[in-house]
């Protein structure tokens, strides 16, 4: 039995191509995309370290949207995650 595709690391050249396409769609550099990926991973590690009763998501759409039925209120708008992380950086 093979693991699901998202658990298999991508070929480095293919991953670089995917990162470039993703960054271009987001209107950012690949370096910035990787910074966001690292920040999301750090957020997830910090979130998982807490018990579920102590978790605060601070209106981060990554955690508060995208689950359940597809409605305008539940959909993550293009650029919404980027705007959330940019605003959180300016508060620090």
pLDDT digits (tens, 9 = 90+) for 47-76: 788 776 666 666 777 777 777 777 777 787
**Cβ–Cβ < 8 Å for 46, 53:** no
Q: What pLDDT is recorded for position 1?
A: 66
HSE, side-chain direction, 13 A CA sphere, residue 84: 18
- Average pLDDT on 2-20 reads 81
CA dihedral 90, 47, 36, 15 (to 10 degrees): 180
Q: Where are the alpha helices (DSSP H) in 50-79?
A: 61-64
Q: Indicate the pLDDT class of residue 34, thresholds 50, 70 and 90.
A: very high
**Could you tell me the CA-to-CA distances from 67 to 9, 31, 52, 74, 75 in Å, in that order?**
26, 29, 17, 7, 8
């Amino acid at each position: 039995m093979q693991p699901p595709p998202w658990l298999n690391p991508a070929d480095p050249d293919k991953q670089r191509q995917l990162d470039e396409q993703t960054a271009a769609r987001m209107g950012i550099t690949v370096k910035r995309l990787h910074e966001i990926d690292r920040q999301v991973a750090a957020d997830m590690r910090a979130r998982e370290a807490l018990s579920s009763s102590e978790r605060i998501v601070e209106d981060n759409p990554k955690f508060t949207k995208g689950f359940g039925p597809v409605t305008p209120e539940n959909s993550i708008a293009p650029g919404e995650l980027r705007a959330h992380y940019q605003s959180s950086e300016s508060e620090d």
